[in-house]
Amino acid sequence: MNESPSRVPRPKSWEALQRALRSIPGGVNSPARAFGAVGGHPIFIASAHAKYLTDLDGNQYLDFIGSWGPMILGHAHPVVLEAIASAAARGTSYGAPTEAESELAELVIELVPSVEKVRFVNSGTEATMSAIRLARGATGRERIIKFVGNYHGHVDSLLVSAGSSAATLGVPNSPGVTVGTSRDTLVLPYNDIDAVREAFAASGDQIAAIIVEPVAGNMGLVPPKPGFLECLREKTIQCGAVLIFDEVMTGFRLAPGGAQELYGIQPDLTTLGKIVGGGLPLAAFGGRADLMDHILPAGKVFQAGTLSGNPLATAAGSATLKLLKQAPPYDYLESISCQLEKGFRSAAEEAGIAVQVQRIGSMLTVFFASQQIVDWVTASQSDCQAFAHFFWGMMDQGVYLPCSQFEAMFVSRAMEPQDIDQTISASRRAFAKLRTMRS
Ligand code: PLP
């Protein structure tokens, strides 16, 4: 296949990358931003407004990443900006309680069905780490279950996967994560009800918690099979284990109350991030009051944070959740996301390219695969090279997609039906180009 023109770096982004490489490992502060999965070089962003990103070279892109999820209302929403500015004028951090924290906590409790009490932290990683510690502290058990292809942030005990469909005890997948740390993490295939039943039959009384992305977004978009989440709920109740829904991505995105509202299943604990902070660094874990009261100082499980619940992030989070409550965008997002799904599917079909367009609400992934994706094994059979060409084909036309086959696109409220039409037209040309490259 030919080299796509966009892989030739944009001059100012290229210079910025050289500068960043001298002081920041790999030039980026989070690895996905380096474009490693699609080749080429990252663009450096100068500004963002509503549905658009503008790079240092002045190119404008329709943004389907939305900061990897938070920007459901679009960038620089005036109401959110005003809330941040007015909070900043009163000081940026006090390290002491504020009413703004209670306001955001009340909004979270009102919107997320299973949450009775909530604690704020600064990142999704902190939220999942704390939820796991809480589950272990409350149950007095050590073993946890996670699923292959689910990502829960860079917590040592969760940075574990298994390449086979068999249940295995965790093997760390990053240097620096000790075997000891991940020894108590049991890794099972996503959507595999039998594997869950077997794990509970073998050692149900030792399992502290299951942590799961109720709709997986971190291997591309993979919905739960009917009965999967129900099975997790049933088994954890039977065995006295804690069910943790990691809704860092899906919370306030798939419905006001996230995936748990959409599927009608109440976990014991929920982790939230991204949208709950309105684009500022804030995340949360919450759930049953009796469990949450194990957290220090109400209980004995240690958890703390200098900047946790800081005034700027809570202001941005509350403004965002209030907007979502006042004018719920979910029907609109469903309609334009469905338009996008159908458009991608027919554009690929016209070009004779096999794809699976998988979508729930405003999250979707175009898998370059001929079979439905249900877990990591099927996801990993996708044609990543074809995806990379598609990605650059779209970038050439001003459409910014997640830079990996194994990420979900996020549609924002700032987009209009004509933006979706333009994206579909761009995809028609990108698929056609891919077809020509293949022949
Ligand atoms: N959990 C899920 C489901 C995520 O998608 C992410 C990040 O993408 C995290 C946890 C970690 O969040 P953070 O990057 O804020 O640490």
Q: Is 322 exposed, middle or buried (0-12, 13-18, 19+ CB in 10 A)?
A: middle
Residue recorded with tokens 């892989």: 7
pLDDT category at 254 given cuts 50, 70, 90 is very high
Which of 273, 282, 267 lies closest to 135 in space, CA to CA? 267
DSSP state for residue 69 in the 8-state scheme: T
59 contacts: CB under 8 Å, gap ≥ 6: 10, 43, 398
- To the query of whether residue 274 is one of the catalytic residues in this protein, the response is yes
pLDDT tens column, 74-96? 999 999 999 999 999 999 999 99
Residue 85: how many other CB atoms lie within 10 Å: 11
pLDDT at 172 over 90: no
Predicted pLDDT of residue 397: 97
pLDDT category at 167 given cuts 50, 70, 90 is very low
Taking CA atoms only, the protein residue closest to ligand 1 atom 12 is 124
pLDDT at 169 over 70: no
Pocket probe mutation, ligand 1, options 28, 248, 250, 253, max atoms within 8 Å of Cβ: 248
- To the query of whether residue 246 is one of the catalytic residues in this protein, the response is yes
Taking CA atoms only, the protein residue closest to ligand 1 atom 9 is 153
Closest ligand 1 atom to Cα of 125: 16
Predicted pLDDT of residue 168: 44
Ligand 1 center to residue 140 CA distance, Å? 26
pLDDT category at 157 given cuts 50, 70, 90 is confident
Amino acid identity for residue 137 in this structure? G
Ligand 1 center to residue 68 CA distance, Å? 9
Ligand 1 center to residue 399 CA distance, Å? 24
pLDDT category at 171 given cuts 50, 70, 90 is low
Going through 25-96 in order, the beta strands assigned E by DSSP cover: 45-49, 52-55, 60-63
3-state SS string for 153-207: CCCHHHCEECCCCCCEECEECCCCCCHHHHCCEEEECCCCHHHHHHHHHHHHHHE
Ligand 1 center to residue 274 CA distance, Å? 8
User: Do residues 307 and 126 lie in contact, with contact meaning Cβ atoms separated by under 8 Å?
Assistant: no
Taking CA atoms only, the protein residue closest to ligand 1 atom 13 is 124
pTM of the model: 0.96
Ligand 1 center to residue 189 CA distance, Å? 19
CA distance 48 to 54: 6
- The number of CA neighbours under 13 Å toward the Cβ of 303 is 28
Predicted pLDDT of residue 4: 52
Ligand 1 center to residue 392 CA distance, Å? 25
CA distance 241 to 209: 5
Predicted pLDDT of residue 12: 97
Residue 24: how many other CB atoms lie within 10 Å: 11
CA distance 266 to 233: 8
pLDDT category at 163 given cuts 50, 70, 90 is very low
User: Do residues 228 and 243 lie in contact, with contact meaning Cβ atoms separated by under 8 Å?
Assistant: no
The mean-pLDDT minimum among 28-37, 237-246, 373-382 falls in 28-37
Average pLDDT over residues 220-246: 98
pLDDT tens column, 241-253? 999 999 999 999 9
User: Do residues 422 and 60 lie in contact, with contact meaning Cβ atoms separated by under 8 Å?
Assistant: no
Average pLDDT over residues 20-39: 93
Predicted pLDDT of residue 161: 63
Average pLDDT over residues 328-332: 98
Catalytic residue selected from 61, 117, 146, 151: 151
264 contacts: CB under 8 Å, gap ≥ 6: none
Taking CA atoms only, the protein residue closest to ligand 1 atom 5 is 249
Closest ligand 1 atom to Cα of 30: 14
Q: Between the CA of residue 105 and those of 71, 159, 173, 399, what are the distances in Å?
A: 20, 29, 35, 36
pLDDT tens column, 97-154? 999 999 999 999 999 999 999 999 999 999 999 999 999 999 999 999 999 999 999 8
- The number of CA neighbours under 13 Å toward the Cβ of 133 is 18
pLDDT at 176 over 90: no
User: Do residues 200 and 239 lie in contact, with contact meaning Cβ atoms separated by under 8 Å?
Assistant: yes
DSSP state for residue 220 in the 8-state scheme: B
- To the query of whether residue 396 is one of the catalytic residues in this protein, the response is no
Predicted pLDDT of residue 2: 47
Percent of the chain with pLDDT over 70: 96
Residues 106, 233, 367, 55, Cα dihedral to 10°: 20
pLDDT category at 6 given cuts 50, 70, 90 is low
Closest ligand 1 atom to Cα of 281: 15
The chain-wide mean pLDDT, for the chain, equals 94
Closest ligand 1 atom to Cα of 283: 15
pLDDT category at 164 given cuts 50, 70, 90 is very low
Predicted pLDDT of residue 353: 98
| Category of 438 on φ-ψ map: left (φ > 0), alpha (ψ -120 to 50) or beta | alpha
Which residues lie with the beta carbon below 6 Å from any ligand 1 atom?
A: 68, 123-125, 128, 151-153, 213, 217-218, 246, 248-249, 273, 283
Give the three-state DSSP class for 31: helix
Q: Between the CA of residue 204 and those of 199, 211, 336, 337, what are the distances in Å?
A: 7, 15, 43, 40
Predicted pLDDT of residue 143: 96
Average pLDDT over residues 398-423: 97
Closest ligand 1 atom to Cα of 128: 10
pLDDT at 376 over 90: yes
